[in-house]
């Protein structure tokens, strides 16, 4: 369905969105990002030693590849398989680059990818530990104001990327960049909470 001021990308299939991305439609990319970013973060996190920083880095690189290789995608094929194949190869390259011999084979099992589960190392704002919240507040204060605000709006107020971009009067890409930066910094400064005892 087309709206007066543009296309409703929410109703488009992944494959249709890729066609729009090839045409330079930023909102189509944003829609794909919304659909896949969390589950692909989980994929990287599980495959690469539960390393939050590494998973965030590879997630950002992956979506850059989606843009760069958009024209190589056959829109008659399944997008989900295509993007997970790229993610899978990135994991294999990471093992190779680090000269790590993996005893376990990295398996690409699309059927068992949990689309809703988020790993414990992602900052969980719903965590009721007062110590965690106090430390989180302290670390958020140390961040650049714009990065801190983007993180708070996204993870505490549960606003969408689009809503945050409207509030902060910047592009959705800028919001994502700020969220990546804030998440990376917090993953390091709040590393002690990445434990079962918390």
pLDDT tens string, the chain, 198 residues long: the values are: 444 457 888 999 999 999 999 888 889 999 999 999 988 888 787 677 778 888 899 999 999 899 888 889 987 887 887 887 788 788 878 877 765 444 444 445 444 444 444 444 444 444 445 777 778 878 877 888 788 878 877 886 677 888 788 777 789 889 998 898 888 888 888 877 665 443
- Work out the number of other CB atoms within 10 angstroms of the CB of residue 115: 9
Query: Angle, to 10 degrees, between the axis of helix 145-155 and the axis of helix 161-168?
Result: 140
Domain stop point among 115, 140, 156? 115
Same domain, 76 and 164: no
Query: Per the structure, how many domains does the chain have?
Result: 2
Q: What is the pLDDT of residue 5?
A: 55
CATH code for position 40: 1.10.1740.10
CATH code for position 161: 1.10.10.10
Domain stop point among 62, 82, 115? 115
Report the predicted TM-score, pTM, of the whole model to 2 decimal places: 0.50
Q: What are phi and psi of 51, to 5 degrees?
A: -100, 110
| Percent composition of the chain: helix, strand, coil (DSSP 3-state, to 5) | 65, 0, 35
The range of the structural domain enclosing residue 125 comes to 120-198
Domain stop point among 69, 97, 115? 115
CA–CA dist 119, 193 (Å, integer): 12
DSSP string covering 32-92, please? HHHHHHHHHHHHHHHHTTT-HHHHHHHHHHHHHHHHHTGGGS-TTS-HHHHHHHHHHHHHH
CA–CA dist 134, 136 (Å, integer): 5
Same domain, 110 and 129: no
Give Cβ neighbours of residue 143 (< 8 Å, ≥ 6 apart).
151, 182, 185, 186
Same domain, 19 and 53: yes
């Amino acid at each position: 369905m087309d709206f007066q001021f543009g296309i409703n990308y929410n109703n488009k299939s992944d494959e249709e969105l890729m066609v729009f991305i090839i045409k330079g439609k930023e909102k189509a990319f944003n829609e794909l990002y919304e659909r896949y970013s969390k589950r692909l973060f989980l994929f990287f996190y599980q495959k690469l030693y539960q390393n939050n920083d590494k998973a965030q880095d590879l997630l950002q690189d992956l979506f850059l590849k989606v843009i760069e290789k958009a024209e190589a995608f056959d829109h008659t094929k399944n997008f989900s398989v295509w993007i997970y194949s790229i993610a899978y190869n990135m994991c294999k390259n990471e093992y190779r680059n680090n000269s790590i011999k993996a005893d376990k084979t990295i398996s690409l099992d699309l059927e068992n990818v949990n689309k809703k589960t988020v790993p414990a190392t992602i900052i969980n704002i719903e965590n009721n530990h007062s110590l965690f919240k106090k430390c989180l507040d302290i670390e958020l204060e140390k961040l650049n104001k714009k990065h801190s605000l983007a993180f708070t709006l996204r993870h505490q107020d549960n606003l969408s990327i689009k809503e945050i971009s409207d509030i902060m009067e910047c592009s959705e890409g800028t919001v994502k960049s700020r969220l990546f930066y804030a998440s990376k910094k917090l993953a390091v400064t709040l590393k002690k909470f990445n434990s079962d005892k918390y």
